[in-house]
Each structure stands twice: as structure tokens, then as C-alpha cells.
Structure 1
């Protein structure tokens, strides 16, 4: 028994160092394996924020997202479904002509040529207003107001008396001339031909006269109230027509030399980019606006169906130069950030890589590429910003990090 006990204790003492070493080795392997699975987190908007645990970005407060810390490949790989979902399209770049434009900030304003100022033709009391609010659309011939005027009654009596005398003495040119003169007075005081004809038929004076609209427009201002006494020439209302609108744009004094009176410029209304209009410059203000130190130019554009209202923003594009045999891309294909300017190139099917470029002249829809691309490169023209965001989410860094032109 003593011999067996001795052998058992001796075996335990002999094997214990081996078991300890094995346990330490397994523990190190598990620790390394666990360390290898540790995730790294970054901010989608600020890739410089990197930490080894979930949290929020200290700059913008967004939730941090995991990314592969060791993902050093510069390319993004997308399958067909991902490409269709992101609306990724490409084009082969080449050389062509390029026209550059400067954009001027403008606005639509009322064209005074379509404005009607309606004033009282005679002195009297406004018995009834048929239009009681601004913003109401008025058609030509529509009743606007009814007025009581003793002055009109006197003129009507003169006309009826002249009619009687002219009928009694048809060969006397004096009475004929008096009839024409009294009729003309009624016309000058705003009586229509039908109203004068009705007066001659009824042979009765009427102190209540209704005045109608001389044209089409919208009521922009109402200056009187019902029951008010007005004098001859007192303002009643203002009608504005929107068949055409003025475009007023601001430019700096250094830009005046590039624009001439009578020049045609392209105008785009935000929200109606598919309906550009051509404007002819009609006026360039010879003096600076005291508050902003800019010069104002003006032109007019048609306004079919009154689809645009005064006050809308308008972008005016002025030609600033042209070149031949220039490599250009749509504006949306070029990504600009603090690191520089870059585009995305499809190197092979479904494999996209960023490429830094140097840009030159720009227009409202295209930009000149001076360096960074060669003829035939397949450049992403739609969905480039989605690739940019996806790269930051997956790689945790800016696509331009480490790149130099």
C-alpha cells in the first residue's frame, strides 16, 4: 500500500509542470483568438474617431459603427443587386468641347408693364365693392365697384338734352357737335358704349354707375372700403399681371464687362430645372446698391399658365469661357471634401476605386477634369456619394487618405 501511494504522488508531481504549461498555452491561444475577434468602431461622418467599444461620436453624437480595422484594400466590391439599389451608372470619359458659366443669384419680381392702376373716374360714394380682398383673380370686363355720383347725373342730362335738340334740328351742325361732345365726356368718365346706348334707349339718368376691369390680373392692393367717399382720381385698387415676370440678378462690378445690354442669358428656376428659360438683358443699373455693393441687371421671361410667382429664386447663367478638346464630367460625378476632389472609377465589373482629380472650369451641370483621368476610364456619374459613404462605413477612413495629386 505504501509503495502504491508513493508511486501515485510521484506521478502527480512529475506531470504537474506539463499540465501547467499546457493550460497556459491554451489560455494564451484563447486570449489571442479573443483579441483577434475584438471589433473596432468609428463614426460614419468623422472617420478620425476610432475606439474599441460601442459608443457615440464626441463630435456629432451619431452612434459608432463597427468596421474591419485591417481592411486595407482601396476598392469597393458591389454585386448586381447592390449596384442597382444604389443606382450606380458609369460613362467612359473622352475629349469634347466645354462651355463654362458663372451663376448669378436672382429672383422673380412683378413686371410693371403688366400692372393696372385703377382710380376713380368721378367723385362720389362707393356704394358697393365687388372685390373685397387681395389675391383675387380678375378678368377683363368683370365688375369692380359701383359708385354714386351726381356729377355723372349732370353729364347724363346733358347727353339726353343734346339728343333731343339734335333730333329736332337734324340739319344744324351745332347740335350735332354738342351731341358728340356730350357723348365723348361720358366716355372719358369711364362709361362704356353699351352703357351710353342704354342711357339713350331708356332716356333716364342713373346716379349709380358700375365700373368694370380694364384688363386681366390679380388684386395686389385694395385702397378703399365700401361706403367711402372718393374724389376724382383717388386710387381704388392695383391689379398685377403675371403673364411675364422680371428677373433681377445681382453681380459684382468686376463682372459688368462680361454682360451686355441685349445679351441672351439662361435662367433656371429651382424646382423647374427641366424648364430653362432664355432671358434678354434689358437693363443694367449704372449705380451700385448702397447696402450690398452689387449691380443689378434685369430681363423678362414668359410665365405660361402663371406657374411661377414673384419672389421665387432664379439662377442666371452667364457664359465665362469655352474650350475645345476638354475632358469633362457631370457635376454629380465629382466628390469634394476637405482632403481634395475625387471621382470613382470602375476598374473591373463591380470593383470601384477612388481617384483624386484636379478640376478646372465649371458650368451649372459639368466640370472640367484637368488631371487624374485618362481617355476611356469608366467613371461613376450617378451614385458616387453613396460609394463615398459606403467606403467610410466599411473602411473607417477617408478615400483620399494618403493620396497625392
Structure 2
């Protein structure tokens, strides 16, 4: 009995297969009408390539319409579809391209150095013994008018006595011009030896000499060098310390001699200091060395760098961007929108709702922000500016091949 049932089921299955084969080219559309389907055509889901059917329909996983496949098993379109949720997760952003301009720049590696114009060398105005140093280490910030050191000086004590004597003589003979001139000369002498107007006024007011005199900072700055110690006897003109004002620095870079034709003094340059790339500073190229190293053929160029916040320090690395011309009426893209590999450069274009495809392009000049598109795009193309690498990876994952294989540059 069992064998008989098996034979009957086999006969029914054979009749079903024969019937299907006699009508294998007949298909029904969504309205129930019979349509002709191309023999051998298979259909797959753009999002789930593992779904393959021999007739049109929808994907059982995501519900998308199936698309025809080529003989190689790939979808006929080199595109990929992502729904809105997937685009948000992949941070996909696009922009419609239009013609604009791009500034071409050459990037030079540079370094920040102190500006000697703002360096103050503190030397002893008089000979004497250093009784006290108010600043005892380098790196300390001092302000203009702040006491730096106290000195015992017989030389200065003698000058104070001469000034007080001249004042007494002037008081005794107020109408005598020569006593007035002597008092003025004694005062100027004290000023030349580093005494401030306040210190001289105090001396005149109290009429008392002081062998221990404080010397004040003539400018603000950071103590870069300290050459003296307490108790040391110093001569007139001895260097005690060096102050560097960092509110303006230099940025120095080097170029080859054959690049000089593109450089001009007073050109506007952009400086990007390491660690502060998001805060580029505009500056002026104010020095081009008139001589170059005979062995390296390198020439030093320099620009001033404003540093009012004191956030930059000498020795920090920096990039100097030199303008090398301007291209107008051109199609430009953000640098991150262009993908580069061994086959060339390409971008991703949005061709329809939730549909993207790659396109080969040729690029020209570029700077830190933009790149010139010489060939491959036209006005109005909608280009992916963020998430292009994810599209590239998704295409390789789902299609199993390089999305740019066999591509040619698109028309402008």
C-alpha cells in the first residue's frame, strides 16, 4: 500500500512539472495579467543579494522590489540602495555641485621662533653687588614695572648725593640759572642709570639716599635666560637676564630657490599651528632671505604671528600655506568627498530616492578644504560629501566586487 501511494505522488509531481515547463515563459504582473518574462533572467534584492528568484517580486526580508541580474550574477545597475534609517546611521550627507572658485596653496612645514624685536636684554646699569633677585628661575612671567633685582651700588649712591646737593643749592639760590641746570643734569644722570621718575621723586621728597636700589622691568615678558645669582658682584653693563615678549612670534619655513618666482613679500599667508589646526591665523610674509644655502639650495622665509592670548610657544611646529593662484568657474568638492585607490579617484552620486552609485572623476589642485574636479561631474549632480567610505564598503560587501571595476570617467 505504501509503495502504491508513493507511485501516485510521483506521477502527480511529474504532471505538475510538465505543466510548469509548458508555460515557463508566462508570468503574471501585479494586476493578474499574463506577461512575457525573458528566459533565463533572475532577480535579486539590492540590499540582500542572497535572495535570488527567477521571477519579479519583492524581497521577503526588507520588502524592496527585486531587480534583474546580469549573466554574471550582479544587478544590472552599479548602484546601492539604503533606506532613510540606514542613511542616518551611516551619516550620509549630500550636496548639489555648482561652479565656484578654489584657491591653490602650497603647504610648507615651519616652526615658531621668538621675535628678537620683542626681546629685552636686562643688564646692570651700575656696578655693585646683587643683594636680591626677585626672579630666580626661567619661564616666569614678569610685568612692566615689576621689581627684578636689588643692588648695592656706591656709584649710584654718589649720584643720589649729587642730586640732593644740587637741589639744596637751587633752593638757596632759586634765581641762579646754573644751579637749576646742575639739578636738571643730576636728575638726567639718574634716569640714564635706570632710575624711574617715581624713584627720583621719592628721593627729592624725602631727601634721603638709599644704597639699596630696586631696578624695575622695562617691559613685560617671560624670563628666557638668567645669568646672575644673589651676592654676585656685577659690573656696569653685565647681562643679568633676558625677557622675551611672546605676544608676537615669527613662523619660519624654508623653500627651494626655484620656487621664489611664486613668492612675494607682503603676500597673505595662512598659518596652522600644531594642536590648533582649527584656529588658522592670517599673516603677512614679511621676509625672504636674500641668500640661500649653497649646499641645500634652501631659502628661509618668515611671517609674523600675532599671539595676544599667549597660546603659542616658540618651538611649536606649524604649517604655512602660501597662495599659488586662484581657479574660478570650477566645480569643487570637500576633500573628504573624493575617494582614492589604485584605480583612480571616484565619488558617490545620488541618482534617485535612496539610491547611490560611484563615478570616476579627475581632480586638479586642492587645498586643506576643497579639491577641484576637472572631469566627471556637471552642474546639478548630487554628490555624497559624508559617508562615502561606508557606501564603498557596503557595495563591496553586498555585491562582492569592487564597485569601480570597469568604470570610466563620466561626462562633464
The answer to which structure has the higher helix fraction is: 1
Task: State the match for 1:165 in structure 2.
Answer: 169
Q: CA deviation at 1:222?
A: 1.3
Task: State the match for 2:131 in structure 1.
Answer: 127
Task: State the match for 1:151 in structure 2.
Answer: 155
Tell me if 1:91 matches 2:95. Answer: yes
CA distance in 1, matches of 2:320, 2:394: 35
Higher relative contact order (CA 8 A, sep 6+): 1
Task: State the match for 1:281 in structure 2.
Answer: 285
Task: State the match for 1:327 in structure 2.
Answer: 331
Q: CA deviation at 1:381?
A: 0.9
75-84 vs 127-136, which moves further:
75-84
Provide the alpha-carbon RMSD of the alignment.
Answer: 2.4
SS of equivalent to 1:100: strand
Structure 1: gaps of 5 or more residues: 1-10, 12-69
Distance 1:293 1:400, change over 3 A: farther
CA distance in 2, matches of 1:335, 1:88: 15
Distance 1:132 1:290, change over 3 A: farther
Distance 1:324 1:187, change over 3 A: closer
Task: State the match for 1:361 in structure 2.
Answer: 365
CA distance in 2, matches of 1:257, 1:242: 32
SS of equivalent to 1:109: strand
TM-score (norm 2): 0.75
Q: CA deviation at 1:153?
A: 1.1
Tell me if 1:302 matches 2:275. Answer: no
SS of equivalent to 1:304: coil
CA distance in 2, matches of 1:216, 1:127: 23
Q: CA deviation at 1:121?
A: 0.6
Distance 1:250 1:82, change over 3 A: farther
How many residues were matched structurally?
Answer: 337
Q: CA deviation at 1:199?
A: 1.8
TM-score (norm 1): 0.76
Q: CA deviation at 1:325?
A: 2.5
Distance 1:190 1:352, change over 3 A: same
CA distance in 2, matches of 1:71, 1:192: 92
Distance 1:396 1:221, change over 3 A: farther
**Contact map agreement 2:268 2:323 (CA 8 A) in 1:** no
CA distance in 2, matches of 1:283, 1:172: 56
Task: State the match for 1:36 in structure 2.
Answer: none
**Contact map agreement 1:103 1:364 (CA 8 A) in 2:** no
Distance 1:289 1:382, change over 3 A: farther
